[in-house]
Amino acid sequence: MKYIVWTAYDILYAMALFISMPFFGNRFFGRDRMYHDFLERIAVYNKDISPEFQNKSIWIHAVSIGELLASFPLIKKLSDKFKGNQIILSCVSRSARTIAEEKLPQNILKIFLPFDFSFVVDASIRKLKPCLFVSIEAEIWPNLFRTLKKHNTPIIILNGRISEQSFRTYAFFKIFLRKIIDCVDCFIMRTQKDAENIIKLGADKTKVSIAGSMKFDYAYHLSQNYPCEQSEKTIVFGSIHRGEEEAIAEIIKGIIQKYSDINVVIVPRALDRTNIYQILRQKKIHFEKFSNHGTSHSRVLVVDKYGVLTDFYRKCEFAFIGGSLVPAGGQNPIEPLAFKKPVIYGKFHEDFEDEWKKILEAGAGFEVKSFEELSEKIDFLIKNPQISSSMGKSGYEMILKNSGRISDIIQVLEKYIVR
């Protein structure tokens, strides 16, 4: 019966993978490195684990850019403390992999997460020989988890997050998922609600703890490693989703008409699916792409590269965080506050509910219900720079108060690491 169930899963997974490729293929594979990327996803690696690290590698999985960035302070501390262990970092998206290669040292082995076929993940585990697998947030890969367990490799869910939408989806497959959840040795969740959700899905409550969000530690890491620059008269619209672009373009048109000394930076969430260029042209808003920066003197810059948003948060007056005025769950609102820059956020923030609550309590941001209200708050902050500066400083103090969890997390991980 087990064989039938897992064979059926492999078939369904293959069908889902095949159907999704026309829509997400560009995110999975780099156009210039498609063959190499594909080989890694079937566990064919250019670099094998050195014999000295076999059965001592620490495998950290961060699905995409947000989880990857949040893992940086953890990876640095693990690398410093466990020099006799190989750190392996896996990602799913090509954009996350590119950022990992650019920002992490060469001694960190970067790979793509293998396709979740039973024979592929088994081959991957036999080659990588991890002593510990850590999944950032709460991605559940059935074949990977059960095969890790078969190889007696401990599994830890770290910075665990179960949104309401994910909970409803997982609950539908609760009977099947319970056996996968049983494979996990430790759940370190962000909030009480996340902890309750994973327990409802079948996790043993003795395995569940709460450590807060790692994104506060990442923000503190930014503040210490990237000095805050003098604010330029620039407003950043960060991680903008489809559905927000039209209204935001109209707001930008108003800004450049009303304020001759204000510049605007737009950072689309998904570069391969944005309509922002077409919309700006339709509205006759002159803009420049980041990749061509310096070729014109446009006051509107569209960022067409992943991994550089931090640089613009450092220099701006304040930022609007996208994915929050359409029902997309929001994006990370903490990063600008690392540089004492206040944030404006929409009403859809269920994926960052706890972080946003802390920001509001600290008086470090505004929540808006509509694009009209967003325009009003932008005008307010432009006209009241002292209030804007005070809000940013309050946000930074909030980060200091909520960071420092990584050391506690490493104490937990240390119990499972073979030196």
Q: Is the pLDDT of residue 166 over 60?
A: yes
Catalytic residue among 40, 52, 67, 244: 67
Q: What is the pLDDT of residues 358-397, one digit of tens each?
A: 999 999 999 999 999 999 999 999 999 999 999 999 999 9
Integer-rounded Cα radius of gyration of the chain: 22
Could you tell me which residue, 105 or 31, shows the higher pLDDT?
105
How far is Cα 13 from Cα 239, in angstroms, rounded to an integer?
30
Strand partners, 318: 235
Q: In the CATH hierarchy, which fold is given to the domain comprising 221-402? A: Rossmann fold (3.40.50)
Compute the CA torsion angle 243, 136, 115, 27 (nearest 10 deg).
Answer: 30
26 vs 306: CA distance, rounded Å:
14
Mean pLDDT of the chain: 91
Concerning whether 397 is annotated as a catalytic residue, the answer is no
Distance CA 104, CA 102 (A): 6
The strands making up 365-367's β-sheet, listed across from edge to edge, are 288-289, 300-302, 263-268, 234-240, 318-321, 343-345, 365-367
Return the CATH number of 24-212, one of 3.40.50.11720, 3.40.50.920, 3.40.50.2300, 3.10.20.340: 3.40.50.11720
Is residue 223 within 8 Å of 396, Cβ to Cβ?
Answer: yes
Report the distance separating Cα 391 and Cα 374, nearest Å.
17
Domain ranges of the chain: 24-212, 221-402
**pLDDT tens-digit profile of 6-51?**
788 888 888 888 887 766 655 555 555 677 888 999 999 887 677 6
The DSSP-derived string for 220-248 is: HHHHHHSPPPPPPSEEEEEEEPTTTHHHH
pLDDT for 25 equals 56
Confirm whether 24-212 and 221-402 share one CATH topology. yes
Instruction: State the Cα–Cα distance between residues 345 and 240, nearest whole angstrom.
Output: 11
One-letter amino acid for residue 30 of the chain: G
Give the per-residue pLDDT at 4. Answer: 75
Return the structure tokens found at 177. Answer: 């998922």
Q: Please, which pLDDT band fits residue 234 given cuts at 50, 70 and 90?
A: very high
